[in-house]
């Protein structure tokens, strides 16, 4: 152990020397887009040492989640969620194939860690599918997707998902695209304002298992609901959504959806909505309890905001709600105490679509001039807010309560969202901020017309922000959350369970069973063979392989691939997976371990012999 510590120290010291040489020669500095020298040293995590934080970034239209370590910015894992992954066999085995429901892609936008009392608790990660109206839950003990719910009825394009409430009671899925409901209903676009609806779905989360179920929905106007955030502490029980296209345009939206000077923050009291559902104040639409807040007043209120808003973010104490209108150089800050006072005193400026509009001067506390293209805001532990500026390609730091900008730093290029350490909780850590940039342009070696995107690590521990590191990332990280590594305790293998269906734990119990034209292979995968390794079937048989990896040793995973049958899975230590093929091709087909497991890995193979049909 002492020798290992000495080696690690030597490596770190060597890195510092290299950094010092680079600084001395002018090859590394803190301006002009180059990471600062002392910052690089801060981000250095020597080989064999571990990062302080996990960062979970959405994979956009890849349908995946990317896992990074911070501060090293080392990419650790890609978690398949809505997209099949042949490397792991996700979407190939029977369980995950059923979860995907025949869909082969998804559009992951906003990962949300489960919370207890407003703090990340390290149990689950939830992600939305903007394309197919789904939401998924990842178990952070295994980093595997365990449940996919949906397509959810009545909603369309749940872009505003899936920010959880402070005790993970709910996550909410608001429609980006208004459509006629229920799904399958046709109406011409010319009847958009009359027959198209915006709908928000409330997804209830079981506090013990994390299991998700559709609880109720809110019927909303045919507007586009963009992003959301849950209230916390003083604002717990409320949820906030940005909405654009209150013009209800349906063609040339880049013009039509920006005609008004202001759109709205839609805020709703989810406890009152829950109560209304319990009291039967709903209409069933496609089997779902749908509450109309016009008919049940006191649930939904509107707050005017600068046109085409994107982010809405609640400060750690729950008092301030920060909204960013993309087409104005300011962020608007609302005071929850003023909001409640306005509701109590009936400070209503009017109604739109039957929903009450709170009087803007009564609820707005500040308009902070931050720069061009504000999109999203995060918070630190010292009372500062950080807002991304898409057009300026910058991040700006400003003081809550004083409403003054204190610092600004260039990023590369065109940031969308930001992610601060523990930044969406009631007690952010400060320390680190990651800018999720939409474009990388010239930051990395060229790989042709399709560019990576860029994650840039910013040190926010001091008075001045400092760019210290960056890493390329596949398209497209819309959002991320960063959690202390010690809050997550992954299991390095599955527990042996002799009662698990289809599992086999002893080679003596491995067998082949036939029932008509259905064949079940109960297989053991153990270094370095499959048992049985000779499987004879008839052309046309349906063959199920139930494979148990009995190597109860960390990082000894086995693959199972069948040549020419488009089948591969990875089976982790102690895990059982079932794959199915129809043996429609006669001949001899090798199957083999596709994941390197031992010195005799090459010898870990067998034969599938398919006898021609008579």
Q: What is the pLDDT of residues 538-564, one digit of tens each?
A: 999 999 999 999 999 999 999 999 999
CATH of domain 507-611: 2.60.40.420
386-407 pLDDT, tens per residue?
999 999 999 999 999 999 999 9
Q: Give the C-alpha separation, 231 to 435, whole Å.
A: 24
| Model confidence, pTM | 0.94
pLDDT in tens, 340-365: 999 999 999 999 999 999 999 999 99
C-alpha 331 chain-centroid distance: 25
Other C-beta atoms within 10 Å of 243: how many? Answer: 25
Domain borders along the chain are: 2-43, 152-316+326-369, 507-611
Residue 40's pLDDT band (boundaries 50, 70, 90)? Answer: confident
Task: Decide if pLDDT at 23 tops 70.
Answer: no
Average pLDDT over residues 499-503: 97
Q: What is the pLDDT of residue 36?
A: 65
Tell me the pLDDT tens digit for each residue of 503-529: 999 999 999 999 999 999 999 999 999
Cβ neighbours for 449, distance < 8 A, ≥ 6 positions apart? none
Assess whether pLDDT exceeds 70 at residue 462.
Answer: yes
Longest dimension (CA), the chain: 84
Q: Name the CATH topology of 152-316+326-369.
A: Methylamine Dehydrogenase; Chain H (2.130.10)
- 237-286 pLDDT tens trace: 999 999 999 999 999 999 999 999 999 999 999 999 999 999 999 999 99
- Of 187, 186, 191, 264, which Cα lies nearest the Cα of 225? 264
404, 383, 386: which is closest to 316 by C-alpha?
383
Average pLDDT over residues 531-536: 98
Q: Is the pLDDT of residue 297 over 80?
A: yes
Question: What distances in angstroms separate CA 146 from CA 6, 96, 126, 273, 315, one per listed residue?
Answer: 42, 8, 10, 28, 31
Q: Which tens digit of pLDDT belongs to each residue from 157-199?
A: 999 999 999 999 999 999 999 999 999 999 999 999 999 999 9
- Residue pair 569/553 in contact by the 8 Å Cβ criterion: no
User: For residue 3, what pLDDT is reported?
Assistant: 41
The predicted structure's pLDDT at residue 1: 39
SS3 assignment, position 558: strand
Peptide linkage before 532 cis (omega within 30 of 0): yes
pLDDT range class, residue 14, cuts 50, 70, 90: very low
Q: Which residue has the tokens 């990842």?
A: 138
Range in 41-50, 464-473, 573-582 the model is least confident about: 41-50
As a whole number of angstroms, the distance between CA 499 and CA 149 comes to 27
Question: What pLDDT sits at residue 22?
Answer: 38
The CA distance from 451 to 420, in Å, is 25
- Give 422-432 pLDDT, tens digit per residue: 999 999 999 99
Q: Are 108 and 82 in contact (CB under 8 A)?
A: yes
What's the pLDDT score for residue 42?
A: 85
């Amino acid at each position: 152990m002492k020798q290992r510590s000495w080696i690690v120290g030597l490596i770190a010291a060597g890195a510092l020397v290299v950094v010092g040489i680079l600084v001395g020669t002018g090859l590394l500095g803190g301006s002009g887009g180059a990471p600062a020298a002392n910052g690089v040293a801060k981000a250095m995590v020597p080989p064999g040492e571990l990062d302080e934080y996990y960062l979970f970034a959405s994979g956009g239209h890849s349908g995946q989640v990317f896992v990074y370590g911070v501060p090293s910015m080392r990419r650790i894992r890609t978690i398949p969620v809505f997209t099949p992954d042949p490397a792991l066999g996700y979407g190939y085995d029977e369980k995950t194939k059923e979860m995907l429901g025949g869909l082969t892609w998804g559009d992951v936008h906003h990962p949300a860690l489960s919370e207890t009392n407003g703090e990340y608790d390290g149990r689950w990660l939830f992600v939305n599918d903007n394309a197919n109206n789904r939401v998924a839950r990842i178990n952070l003990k295994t980093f595997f997707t365990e449940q996919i719910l949906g397509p959810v009825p009545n909603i369309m394009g749940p872009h505003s998902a899936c920010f959880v409430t402070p005790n993970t009671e709910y996550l909410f899925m608001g429609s980006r695209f208004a459509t006629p409901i229920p799904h399958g209903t046709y109406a011409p676009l010319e009847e958009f304002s009359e027959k198209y609806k915006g709908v928000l779905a409330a997804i209830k989360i079981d506090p013990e298992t994390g299991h998700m179920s559709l609880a109720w929905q809110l019927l909303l106007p045919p507007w586009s609901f963009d992003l959301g955030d849950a209230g916390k502490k003083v604002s717990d029980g409320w949820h906030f959504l940005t909405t654009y296209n209150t013009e209800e345009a349906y063609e040339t939206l880049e013009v039509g959806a920006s005609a008004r000077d202001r759109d709205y923050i839609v805020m709703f009291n989810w406890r009152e909505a829950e109560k209304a559902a319990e009291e039967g104040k709903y209409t069933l639409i496609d089997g779902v309890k749908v509450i109309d807040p016009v008919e049940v007043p006191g649930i939904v209120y509107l707050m005017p905001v600068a046109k085409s808003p994107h982010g809405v973010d609640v400060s750690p104490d729950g008092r301030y709600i920060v909204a960013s209108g993309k087409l104005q150089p300011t962020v608007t800050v609302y005071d929850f105490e003023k909001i409640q006072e306005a509701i109590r005193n009936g400070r209503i400026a009017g109604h739109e679509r039957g929903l009450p509009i709170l009087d803007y001067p009564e609820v707005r506390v500040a308009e902070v001039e931050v720069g061009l293209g504000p999109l999203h805001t995060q918070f630190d532990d010292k009372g500062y807010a950080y807002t991304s500026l898409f057009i300026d390609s910058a991040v700006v730091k400003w003081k809550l309560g004083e409403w003054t900008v204190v610092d600004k730093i260039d990023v590369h290029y065109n940031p969308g969202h930001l992610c601060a350490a523990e930044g969406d909780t009631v007690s952010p850590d400060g320390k680190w901020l990651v800018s999720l940039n939409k474009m990388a342009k010239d930051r990395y070696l060229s790989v042709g017309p399709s560019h990576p995107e860029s994650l840039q690590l910013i040190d926010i521990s001091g008075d001045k922000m400092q760019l210290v590191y960056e890493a390329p990332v596949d398209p497209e990280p819309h959002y991320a959350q960063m959690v202390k590594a010690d809050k997550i305790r992954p299991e390095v293998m599955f527990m042996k369970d002799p009662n698990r269906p289809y599992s086999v734990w002893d080679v003596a119990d491995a067998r082949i069973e036939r029932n008509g034209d259905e064949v079940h292979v109960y297989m053991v995968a153990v270094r370095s063979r499959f048992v049985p390794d000779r499987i004879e079937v008839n052309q046309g048989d349906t063959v199920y392989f139930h494979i148990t990896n009995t190597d109860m040793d960390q990082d000894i995973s086995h693959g199972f691939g069948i040549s020419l049958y488009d089948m591969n899975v990875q089976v982790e230590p102690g895990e059982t997976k079932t794959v199915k093929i129809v043996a429609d091709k006669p001949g001899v087909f090798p199957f083999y371990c596709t994941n390197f497991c031992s010195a005799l890995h090459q010898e870990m193979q067998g034969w599938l012999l398919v006898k021609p049909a008579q």
